[in-house]
Amino acid sequence: MAKLNIAPTKSNFLSMKRQLAFAEEGYDLLEQKRQILIFELMGRLARADEVELKVAESLHRAHAALGEATLDIGSEALDRAALGANPNFELKLAAQHLMGLTIPRVTFRANPAGVPFGVGGTSANTDLARRRFVELLPLLAELAELQNAVLQLARELRKTQRRCNALSKIFIPSYRETLAYIAGTLEERERESLNILKIIRDRLAEPAGR
């Protein structure tokens, strides 16, 4: 790693030591953040996989009930019944904060409703299909929240990883090499000064007239 192009002076040496300490502290903090992001990301990925399976199962059951309802009353009657339905759902978005990120929190609630369809022209399977699709909605809301969080956490993790790499592989090694160079140069200068002082002292100590 190439050293920085600065003059080898004591003031620069002290300044570089402060910068190195700051960079090392920043790296430690970023590494802690990286570990937390990995933990949060892996947890949400695992949960998203679970919810995806539940969504697939619930969707299969809902479509099965819809198919039975279609056989009972026909697709046209089912379309008319769907147009007359009165859904009463509530979807809320809130913010949750994590490591500098703002991740939407999705909450779905189905409020109690009266008769979902008209009194005639439907079947028990029609009500079952509606109920199963309604049961699917909270899972879809949770899955949307998890997928959004996974994307944001993954982006932040990549950004944090790049910063960690820059500090550990570029900046910190450059600072250390520069400090070693300055320290070596200052020591060499000090040895030269001591040698010069010794020569001067020896000459001054020589008897007069020699």
pLDDT at res. 123: 76
Inter-CA distances, 18 with 22, 24, 78, 163, Å: 6, 10, 74, 19
- Whether the model pTM is above 0.95: no
pLDDT at res. 134: 86
Inter-CA distances, 77 with 84, 113, 114, 142, 149, Å: 11, 21, 20, 32, 41
Domain for residue 1, yes or no? no
As a whole number of angstroms, the distance between CA 120 and CA 207 comes to 130
Domain for residue 4, yes or no? no
| Domain that residue 143 falls in | 10-203
pLDDT at res. 114: 52
- Which stretches of the chain drop beneath a pLDDT of 50? none
pLDDT at res. 125: 82
Domain for residue 93, yes or no? yes
- Amino acid found at 40: E
